[in-house]
Amino acid sequence: MKKAGLALFAIVAFVFVNNTSFLATPPGSEPVLVAHRGIGQDFSRDGLTGESCTAARLIPSDHSYLENTIPSMRAAYDFGADIVEFDVHRTTDDRFAVFHDWTLDCRTNGSGVTRKQSLDSLQSLDIGYGYTADGVTFPFRGQGVGMMPSLMDVLAEFGDRQLLIDIKSQDPTEGELMAEVLSSLTPEQRARTMVYGGGQPVSVIRERLPDVRTIWQRRLRQCLKGYAALGWTGFVPESCKRSVVMVPANYAKWLWGWPNRFLQRMDAAGSMVVVIGDYAGEGYSQGIDELEHLERLPSDYSGGIWTDRIDIIGPAVRGRRQGPGAGR
């Protein structure tokens, strides 16, 4: 019995020492901010479903930026973003348009499926056409004409920045086309570029370009489940490697070695950890969008933070970076 007790104590001590974050230094000095779609107009989430037109749920703001545009991305970096996330659709002329919605009807003066249009046709639309808070007034109509960028526009404008590309389809040929585009970049640019989204196209990119970090939903689930089972030993599943590991904020504390040991392990595996909003059983929330949500993260947290409100979170984190009295 005494030997069994000593063995049990040794196991518990090993698990504690191997996973306590107190004995691990943060792998970085500050959080990495990911601006979802750059900076855009906020919308009401009350009763939101996958079929809701978010542009018709406008919450009036004090800026005029429209998501997924060059000005909105530039503003996101100015607010403190380290990485800008944006969405792409393959066009009928085998290029990529930067736009979130699967169809055009909600946000623009066009109609139909986005990927069934040519790039020139898409870039002639008014992407601010559908924004409204009351269904009567449309404050951005006429202001978004010609503002839908192409992937090449974004790469040309922000080639020296970190970018996260969301492929909206499950078409593997999109992965082939995207791999061709990314293979034309320098190795340094590819190292700053990450891709996620549809499993079929993103898996093609992962196979073709091993220097590009990738993730898709099924692989992310495998990563987190595998780590939950064996991470106490320090083992990192293959599905977690060379990835963008998105962690719901309310699950993070249950990860072995959270935060610093976990961040160290993923960093050693070539992966970036990004905390997103709470998982509530019906999908992930948009991000860490309020100061009270930011305060829930450990004070020395140096992983990624996903946010729809870089205009709120960016200055708050920048204030932390600069120390007490910043901005006074």
What CATH number is associated with residue 267? Answer: 3.20.20.190
Residue 11 lies in a domain: no
Residue 7 lies in a domain: no
User: Taking 90 as the threshold, does the pLDDT of residue 22 lie above it?
Assistant: no
Residue 25 lies in a domain: no
What span, in angstroms and rounded, lies between the C-alpha atoms of 246 and 220?
7
Nearest to 89 by CA among 64, 108, 75: 108
Residue 22 lies in a domain: no
What span, in angstroms and rounded, lies between the C-alpha atoms of 84 and 164?
6
pLDDT at 294: 93
Placement of tokens 């961040």 in the chain: 263
Residues with Cβ < 8 Å from 322, sequence gap 6 or more?
none
Residue 24 lies in a domain: no
The predicted-structure confidence for 250-272, as pLDDT tens digits, reads as follows 999 999 999 999 999 999 999 99
pLDDT at 14: 55
State how many domains the chain has: 1
pLDDT at 285: 59
Nearest to 67 by CA among 248, 307, 317, 288: 307
pLDDT at 23: 67
CB 307 within 8 A of CB 287: yes
Lowest mean pLDDT among 14-18, 153-157, 252-256, 322-326: 322-326
pLDDT at 29: 83
Q: By residue range, what is the domain housing residue 135?
A: 30-321
Residue 4 lies in a domain: no
The predicted-structure confidence for 70-97, as pLDDT tens digits, reads as follows 999 999 999 999 999 999 999 999 999 9
Exposed, middle or buried: residue 218 (CB in 10 Å: 0-12, 13-18, 19+)?
Answer: exposed
- The CA distances from residue 297 to 3, 56, 305, in Å, are 40, 32, 10
pLDDT at 225: 96
Residue 74 lies in a domain: yes
**Res. 326 pLDDT band, cuts 50 70 90:** very low
Residue 6 lies in a domain: no
The predicted-structure confidence for 1-18, as pLDDT tens digits, reads as follows 666 655 554 555 555 566
